[in-house]
Structure 1
Amino acid sequence: MTKVLFVCMGNICRSPTAEGVFQDMVLQAGLDDVIMVDSAGTHGYHLGEAPDPRTRAAARKRGYDLSELRARQIAPDDFAKFDYILAMDWDNLSALQQLCPKAYLHKLQLLMRFATEHDEATVPDPYYGGPESFETVLNFVEDACAGLLEVARKRSLQFAAA
């Protein structure tokens, strides 16, 4: 099984968006038996909370249901458990690098590394922006998750053949 963890600061905007989008893509591809998806925050500001209402509304317009997701903070065992730990921006990548045992540093990357349509390196934080900020997040996340799905699909097939 390939395990993917999306990470932003509070786990109420960008990372739950990525979790919901990627989970939907995984289900549509029929890969839910070989790809596991989760999200977390580098900080515990919103533990147990649902995603931001603006995040849920923007996602809902595109057919993604984030209502069951709840914020959590990254845990020490996440570094061993997940194959891909994907940060939304440089600050959260840096925070992850500080927390991560050296043996697992290779698992840390920026989500936008998998994008094919957008050249930006990071997914901008929409929290203090207007509705268009949440649409931008979805545009970036959908693009990057589509690229990630191909990588995860190939990885899963390689392990299944082994």
Structure 2
Amino acid sequence: MKINVLFVCLGNICRSPMAEAIFRQMVEKEGLSGKVETDSAGIGHWHIGQPPHKGTQELLSEKSVPVEGMKARQIDTSDWDKFEYIVGMDAQNIRDLQALRNTSDQVEVKRLMDYVPHPKERDVPDPYFTGNFDYVFELVEEGCRYLLKDIKKKWNL
């Protein structure tokens, strides 16, 4: 069985593709690529088909985290049947996701920072508005590390 993780933010060009790329790299380093898969999506439709934001791409490139081939997409109700985890970046994302939620109770829906025992912040701020991609990277990397730890423990990986 594959464990599927979907990261979600507002437009799918900053935070969620950053999380997808970081998490994918962590999964590969752990040798779990065949067991854990990841994707990202946005609540809104504004950026469908676009690559990650320039600031996200530049920072991930500096950190040697690949983003090739990534394109923004909007979350779809069918995602509830494809993913075991749908991970929002902030409380508004979670409210939007809960409004879209279909009847599936099998999907764990949480904010990324909910996986961190003592987070600096509960929400990952949107660098599209703040411009602070470095700080967002720091939070996302920490959140992804704890999310992967949680998945490994829960699924005995």
Normalised to the residue count of structure 2, the TM-score between the two structures is: 0.93
- In the alignment, the residues of structure 1 paired with residue 60 and residue 119 of structure 2 have an alpha-carbon distance, to the nearest angstrom, of 19
Partner residue in 2 for 1:153: 152
Q: Secondary structure at the match of 1:128?
A: helix
2:74 is aligned to 73
Question: How many residues are matched?
Answer: 156
How far residue 65 of structure 1 moved from its aligned partner, in angstroms, is 1.5
Aligned with 2:23: secondary structure? helix
Residues 13-60 of structure 1, C-alpha deviations (whole Å, 9 max, x = no match): 000000000000000000001101000001111000000011100111
Aligned residue in 1 for 2:56: 55
The match for 2:143 is: 144
- Matched with 1:18 is 19
Decide whether aligned partners of structure 1 residues 80 and 8 sit closer, same or farther in structure 2, where only a CA change above 3 A counts. Answer: same
Aligned equivalents of 1:25 and 1:64: distance in 2?
A: 10
Task: Return 5+ residue gaps in structure 1 as ranges.
Answer: none
Identify the structure with the greater helix proportion.
1
Task: Give the aligned partner of residue 108 of structure 1.
Answer: 109
* Distance (Å, rounded) in 1 between the aligned partners of 2:148 and 2:100: 26
Whole-angstrom CA distance in 1 between matches of 2:46 and 2:84: 25
What's the CA shift for 1:114? 1.4
Shift of 1:91: 0.9
Query: What is the root-mean-square deviation in Å for CA atoms of aligned residues?
Result: 1.5
User: Any gaps of 5 or more consecutive residues in structure 2?
Assistant: none
Distance 1:90 1:105 in 2: 20
Cα deviation code 1:81-121 (max 9, x no counterpart): 10110000111111100000243385211011112463310
1:124 corresponds in structure 2 to: 125
> Aligned residues: percent identity?
38
Matched-pair contact (CA < 8 Å) for 2:9–2:16: yes
Give the alignment's TM-score, normalised by structure 1.
0.90
Report the residue type matching 2:156 in the other structure. L
Contact persistence 1:10–1:45 (CA under 8 A): yes
| Conserved 8 A contact 1:12-1:50 | yes
